[in-house]
Amino acid sequence: MGVRITLRSVAEAAGVSTAAVSYAFNRPDRLSSEMRSRILAVARELGYSGPDAAARSLRTGRANAIGVIFTTGLTYAFSDPYVLALLGGLAETLAHSRTSLVLIPFAPVVAGLSDAEVRESLDAVHRAVIDGAVADGLTDDHPAVRALSDRSLPLVRSSDTAAGRCVMIDDRQAGREIGRHLADLGHHEVAVVVSSPSEPGCAVTPADEATLYPYSRHRLAGIREALPAGARVRVVSGGNNADATGRLAATALLAAPDRPTAIAADSDVLAAAVVEVATVQGLRVGHDVSVTGFDDVPLAASTGLTTVRQPIHEKGRLMARMLLDPDNTPNRVTLPTELVVRSSTGPVPNR
């Protein structure tokens, strides 16, 4: 077994103090450029990559890192425009304090997992060397939330919570705006496509609605409240909020003999997939069928989507500020939303 190279090993080989080696990696302003270059050259020669982050955090009480809990695959997360905007806001604020982002994956659906599978996901939360965390769309009883609480780590969420900090929007009121817009256009046959663990295109039963993300439940409730009495609302799974799963949901809805006159998706990604399928089938979006989305990410304008605009980048920025400066930030912030009407919605068609 080879000899373990430590910070002290580098210091002895370079003929400097251990503090100088630490400064070379973490506080370069404390050394001359010549000395830092010499120390780093010795470190490279010995195969030393730098001080251990976990050990340093134990000594200082800070890791200078914030965790982000993902309940989607990391590969998918980097293709989701909402997630990218949120990460952009977090990174903008954290960069000023030289604080890192640690991406922590968690199983997307806890229900149905074995205890061993839940423990595997929780292991990443327990091992993460972080000072606090951001969780998007998780409830108080989610295992990741409980694990962070057990570690006494600060947590900021994007959904309403009785305990802890949050930066949120009023999803229910935003849903009412969508429902009111569709009602004003005369729509009584509405389908709502939601992100869901169910297979895309499958009906989401009232019992299944309890397993939806909090934002999906609130938006769905708002749409129902704003539609007129007697309106029919169908809820269909859009899968994991991806273009491919959205197309499956849209195909199932548009092939039905009692096709809805309006389809409200709880993200622009799913709504754009509905527009794509409808267009391929020869339907005129905004005439034969109306479609709405949510978020107002860049693809919404190019698709002509009627959608709800929410300040995603600002949400991420404020979440980071709450973690970095808890004494000078509020515990709870509700950001405004705006219904943006474009060409994808129009009066109910005559049949």
SS3 assignment, position 291? strand
pLDDT score recorded for residue 25: 74
For residue 295, give the CATH number of its domain: 3.40.50.2300
pLDDT in tens, 44-77: 888 776 665 545 544 455 778 999 998 777 777 7
- Distance, in Å, from the CA atom of 227 to the CA atom of 301, rounded to the nearest integer, reads 25
Are 133 and 68 a contacting pair, CB within 8 Å?
yes
Strand partners, 102: 67
pLDDT mean over 14-34? 83
Q: Domain check: are 43 and 75 in the same one?
A: no
pLDDT score recorded for residue 275: 98
pLDDT mean over 104-117? 65
pLDDT mean over 216-243? 95
Q: With respect to residue 341, please indicate whether it lies within any of the assigned structural domains.
A: no
pLDDT score recorded for residue 129: 86
- Distance, in Å, from the CA atom of 126 to the CA atom of 104, rounded to the nearest integer, reads 10
pLDDT score recorded for residue 215: 92
- Distance, in Å, from the CA atom of 65 to the CA atom of 91, rounded to the nearest integer, reads 11
Q: Domain check: are 43 and 139 in the same one?
A: no
Q: With respect to residue 58, please indicate whether it lies within any of the assigned structural domains.
A: no
Are 249 and 180 a contacting pair, CB within 8 Å?
no
Count of residues making up the chain: 351
Q: Domain check: are 320 and 232 in the same one?
A: no
pLDDT score recorded for residue 58: 43
Q: With respect to residue 74, please indicate whether it lies within any of the assigned structural domains.
A: yes
Q: Domain check: are 161 and 185 in the same one?
A: no
Q: With respect to residue 308, please indicate whether it lies within any of the assigned structural domains.
A: yes
Q: What percent of the chain has pLDDT over 90?
A: 56
Q: Domain check: are 291 and 179 in the same one?
A: yes
What would the DSSP string read from start to end of 14-80?
HTS-HHHHHHHHH-GGGS-HHHHHHHHHHHHHHT-----HHHHHHHHS--SEEEEEESS-HHHHTT-
Q: Domain check: are 124 and 73 in the same one?
A: yes
Least confidently predicted of 3-12, 117-126, 167-176, 226-235: 117-126
DSSP element (H, E) containing 197: none
Query: Where in the sequence is the domain holding 257, given as residue range(s)?
Result: 171-312
What is the DSSP pairing of strand 338-340 with strand 307-309? antiparallel
- Distance, in Å, from the CA atom of 47 to the CA atom of 262, rounded to the nearest integer, reads 62
End-to-end CA distance of the chain: 79
List all residues 6 or more positions away from 126 whose beta carbon is below 8 Å from its beta carbon: 147, 151
Q: With respect to residue 29, please indicate whether it lies within any of the assigned structural domains.
A: yes
Q: Domain check: are 15 and 84 in the same one?
A: no
Q: Domain check: are 209 and 234 in the same one?
A: yes
List all residues 6 or more positions away from 58 whose beta carbon is below 8 Å from its beta carbon: none
Q: With respect to residue 325, please indicate whether it lies within any of the assigned structural domains.
A: yes
Q: Domain check: are 292 and 208 in the same one?
A: yes
pLDDT mean over 95-100? 88
What would the DSSP string read from start to end of 103-133?
EEE--S--TT--HHHHHHHHHHHHH---SEE
Q: With respect to residue 344, please indicate whether it lies within any of the assigned structural domains.
A: no
Q: Domain check: are 180 and 307 in the same one?
A: yes
List all residues 6 or more positions away from 145 whose beta carbon is below 8 Å from its beta carbon: 135, 138, 139, 155, 157
Residue of higher predicted confidence among 307 and 74: 307
pLDDT score recorded for residue 225: 97
Q: Domain check: are 183 and 231 in the same one?
A: yes
Pair of tokens at residue 159: 């959904």
pLDDT at 121 over 90: no
Q: Domain check: are 91 and 102 in the same one?
A: yes
Task: Report CA torsion sign: 289, 293, 298, 301.
Answer: positive
| Burial of 96 per CB tally in 10 Å (0-12, 13-18, 19+) | exposed
Quote the pTM value.
Answer: 0.80
Least confidently predicted of 194-198, 270-274, 300-304: 194-198
pLDDT at 163 over 80: no
For residue 22, give the CATH number of its domain: 1.10.260.40
Count of the separate structural domains present in the chain: 3
Mean pLDDT of the chain: 88
Q: With respect to residue 150, please indicate whether it lies within any of the assigned structural domains.
A: yes
pLDDT at 125 over 70: yes
- Distance, in Å, from the CA atom of 51 to the CA atom of 251, rounded to the nearest integer, reads 54
Q: pLDDT grade, residue 177 (50/70/90)? A: very high
Least confidently predicted of 83-97, 127-141, 169-183: 127-141
pLDDT mean over 267-281? 97
pLDDT at 212 over 90: no
pLDDT score recorded for residue 1: 42
pLDDT score recorded for residue 30: 81
pLDDT mean over 267-294? 97
- Distance, in Å, from the CA atom of 242 to the CA atom of 273, rounded to the nearest integer, reads 8
pLDDT score recorded for residue 90: 95
- Distance, in Å, from the CA atom of 311 to the CA atom of 89, rounded to the nearest integer, reads 10
Q: pLDDT grade, residue 320 (50/70/90)? A: very high
